[in-house]
Amino acid sequence: MVVGDFPIETDTLVIGAGPGGYVAAIRAAQLGQKVTVVEKGTVGGVCLNVGCIPSKALIAAGHRFHEAKHSEDMGITAENVKLDFSKVQAFKSSVVNKLTGGVSGLLKGNKIEVVSGEAYFVDENNVRVMTETSAQTYTFKNAIIATGSTPIELPTFKYSKRVINSTGALSLEEVPASLVVIGGGVIGIELGGAYANMGTKLTILEGTEDILSGGYEKQMTALVKKNLKKHGAEIVTKALAKGVEETENGVVVTYEVNGQESKIEADYVLVTVGRRPNTDELGLEQVGIKLTERGLIEIDKQCRTNVKNIYAIGDVVSGPQLAHKASYEGKIAAEVIAGEASEIDYLGIPAVVFSEPELATVGHTEQSAKEEGLDAKASKFPFAANGRALSLNNTDGFMKLITRKEDGLVIGAQIAGPSASDMIAELGLAIEAGMTAEDIAMTIHAHPSLGEITMEAAEVALGMPIHIVK
């Protein structure tokens, strides 16, 4: 092994080049810091390479294929619709390559040094970056840990050719004839739904009472379940996945519901039971960085760990494992290092599921507002009363606006319906800007558009709806 003779100095060292790390690095460079990024894999992290982006490409392809076969209601009948999955995978890879190449260009354009290797803390001002053939010490004034997370592997479902995680599901060479998904959370529903649209017989085994139970109301998840079942999917709740037997051409999954054991055969089993933080093998104990029982790094509202010049962001800290949360925290950490008065405020961070229909939420739900003792009300408007949704032949869903009764302040919103992932941004802005239902209602929205639903929900909150009877 070749060992560097002298430490290389930098102002800010960022460990990890995912959506948290590369954004932190760019913002730090914009604020005048000399920045070095250490990445052991590929720039872009899980999100761009084997997560958010490639999964959405597969989801989009699944939608196109399903719509091509099922648009008779709009007078469109297509014959001999075929799916060339190798081309779908090539399309997915082209999207990934464009984005990761773009991120590399942004880092280079901001004069950020990108170093390949694994970082290990020596002390609070030095890390050792190692590859198979070399090792080099980097001395830093401040460091940002942005190493992300890894899929959890169940002891009774060891990963193999047929027992796969989300990364494996994104790189299949064929559309499975049948697929069992263990875990009805966001990843399981999104990837399972994508393959169901391509013709896969889908079975979802969920341990709790409902799918998407982490933050999504039953009114929303009911719509997703209805659409999955319409595609022939079977959803089994309160199910305990006990084990798997691999056969020559597939798997046999054993599960238990209410003490009764059952077996199901499939081509593959996809395990999506959560992700664990990548905090091992960083040498955090060398500098005394505090971890929670779950292995998460403890931080304050400025993303600072208990070691004053070391920060942590993204999946290695508490909170929802969202790429945009990591990016947001990356900016906070970089700005704090530069001496700016930035701190975390999570209220306006949205969460989205790219299911059918799409689900999105931001701020308070009706339930969380009650739990916090807020005197709030929920105002609901259906997609079925919107002209644009009708013209799209896609009317399942609703928007629910959560406002404070005393002054109409917008404190939350939930959307289930087409383009919910795009529509939620306006509600996030409303919360961040301290807007009221009246502010939204007085904003002229283009017609016909799905955006009008936001205005209509605000008018419901004011007690003066136009397109539904009060």
Question: What confidence tier does 1 reach under pLDDT thresholds 50, 70, 90?
Answer: very low
Decide if pLDDT at 416 tops 50. Answer: yes
Model confidence over 352-391: pLDDT tens digits? 999 999 999 999 999 999 999 999 999 999 999 999 999 9
Residues 416-422 have a mean pLDDT of 98
Question: Is 21 marked within a binding site?
Answer: no
How far apart CA 245 and CA 277 sit, in angstroms, is 29
417 versus 470: the higher-pLDDT residue is 417
Q: pLDDT value at position 365?
A: 96
Structural domains in the chain, sorted by start = 2-151+276-346 (3.50.50.60), 163-273 (3.50.50.60), 357-461 (3.30.390.30)
pLDDT at 213: 87
DSSP conformation class of 417: S
Residue 281 neighbours by CB distance under 10 Å: 10
Rounded distance, CA 317 to CA 279, Å?
10
Q: Is 133 annotated as a binding residue?
A: no
The answer to whether the peptide bond before residue 155 is cis (omega within 30 degrees of 0) is: no
Q: How far is CA 215 from CA 63, 296, 365, in A?
A: 25, 21, 8
pLDDT of residue 36: 98
Catalytic residue among 324, 364, 445, 447: 447
Q: Is 412 known to sit in a ligand binding site?
A: no
Instruction: Please tell me the total number of residues recorded for the chain in this structure.
Output: 470
Task: Name the CA radius of gyration of the chain, rounded.
Answer: 24
How are beta strands 310-312 and 134-145 bridged, if at all?
parallel
Confirm or deny that 173 is annotated as ligand binding.
no
Return the structure tokens found at 352. Answer: 């989205």
Chain centroid offset of residue 336 CA: 25
Cα distance between residue 230 and residue 423, in whole Å: 25
pLDDT above 50 for 324: yes
Task: Provide mean pLDDT across the span 289-307.
Answer: 97
3-state secondary structure of 207: coil
Residue 333 one-letter amino acid: A
Sign of the four-CA dihedral 101, 107, 108, 109? positive
Q: How confident is the model at residue 4, as a pLDDT? A: 55
> Which candidate, 15, 265, 200, 253, places its Cα nearest to that of 126?
15
Characterize 132-171 residue by residue with b for buried, 16 or more Cβ atoms within 10 angstroms of its Cβ, and e for exposed.
eeeebbbebebbbbbbbbebeeeeebeeeebbbbbebbbe
User: Does position 211 have pLDDT exceeding 70, yes or no?
Assistant: yes
How far is Cα of residue 418 from the mean position of the Cα atoms in its chain? 18
Residue 145: pLDDT band (50, 70, 90) is very high
Cis, peptide link before residue 357, omega less than 30° from 0: yes
Q: Is 447 a catalytic residue?
A: yes
- Pick the closest to residue 314 from 299, 330, 301, 300 (CA basis): 330
What local confidence, expressed as pLDDT, does residue 332 receive?
Answer: 98
104-135: pLDDT as tens digits? 999 999 999 999 999 999 999 999 999 999 99
93 annotated as belonging to a binding site for a ligand:
no
Q: Are 186 and 71 in contact (CB under 8 A)?
A: no
62 labelled binding-site residue:
no
Mean pLDDT over 176-187 rounds to: 98
Q: Which residues contact residue 361 at a Cβ distance below 8 angstroms, ignoring those fewer than 6 apart?
A: 215, 216, 350, 351, 412, 413, 414, 415, 424
Instruction: Retrieve residue 377's tokens.
Output: 């009300």
Establish whether 292 is an annotated binding residue: no
Is the pLDDT assigned to residue 392 strictly greater than 70?
Answer: yes
Q: Given this model, what pLDDT does residue 3 score? A: 53
Which carries the bigger pLDDT value, residue 204 or residue 213?
Answer: 204
| 114 and 43 Cβ atoms separated by less than 8 Å | yes
Report residue 470's pLDDT band, with 50, 70 and 90 as the boundaries.
Answer: confident
pLDDT in tens, 236-258: 999 999 999 999 899 999 999 99
Instruction: Compute the average pLDDT of residues 404-418.
Output: 98
CA distance to 160, 164, 170, 198, 294, per residue, from 54 (Å): 21, 16, 7, 16, 28
Q: Per the annotation, does 206 bind a ligand?
A: yes
Q: Which of 7, 316, 282, 10 is nearest to 120 (CA)?
A: 282
Instruction: Over range 198-224, report the average pLDDT.
Output: 95
| Residue 451 among known ligand-binding residues | no
Name 440's Cβ contacts closer than 8 Å, sequence gap at least 6.
410, 426, 430, 454, 455, 458
**Element holding 424 (H helix, E strand):** helix 420-432
**Is residue 185 a known part of a binding site?**
yes
Beta-sheet strands, E only, within 368-468 = 376-382, 398-404, 410-416
> To the nearest whole number, what is the mean pLDDT of the chain?
97
Tens of pLDDT along 327-359? Answer: 999 999 999 999 999 999 998 999 999 999 999
pLDDT of residue 215: 82
Per-residue pLDDT, 72: 95
Which residue is associated with the tokens 């004069």?
111
413: exposed, middle or buried (Cβ count in 10 Å: 0-12, 13-18, 19+): buried
Span 163-171, mean pLDDT? 97
Provide the pLDDT for residue 214.
Answer: 78
Residue-level pLDDT at 401? 98
Report pLDDT digits (tens) over 432-445: 999 999 999 999 99
Percent of the chain with pLDDT over 70: 99
